[in-house]
Amino acid sequence: MPRKASIASPTKPSQTAIQSPITPRLVTIKQGAAYCSCSVWAIRQVIWSKELRACKIGNHFLIDRGDLDRFIDARLRERA
């Protein structure tokens, strides 16, 4: 017996499928660690030692991407 073509019912797109065209200014500690190719704890330590600024919103620390870039540049200049 031949198969009949089924018509898919329209579904809502999942939230993960929708991508925002805006690049976020603040990143999480986990995202910052991935950006720097280091551990989450390494990022936490430089935040706690006040070498890297972070904004605390609720229970979450968020890092400005510009501050993260300046921190990396300063570390690279120390090595040179």
Q: What is the pLDDT of residues 11-60, one digit of tens each?
A: 555 556 667 788 889 999 999 999 999 999 999 999 999 999 999 999 99
Cβ neighbours of 64 (radius 10 Å): 16
- The answer on pLDDT for 70 being more than 60 is yes
Separation CA 78–CA 71 (nearest Å): 11
Position 72 confidence tier, pLDDT thresholds 50, 70, 90: very high
> Who wins on pLDDT, 4 or 53?
53
Cβ neighbours of 40 (radius 10 Å): 14
Model-level pTM? 0.69
Position 80 confidence tier, pLDDT thresholds 50, 70, 90: confident
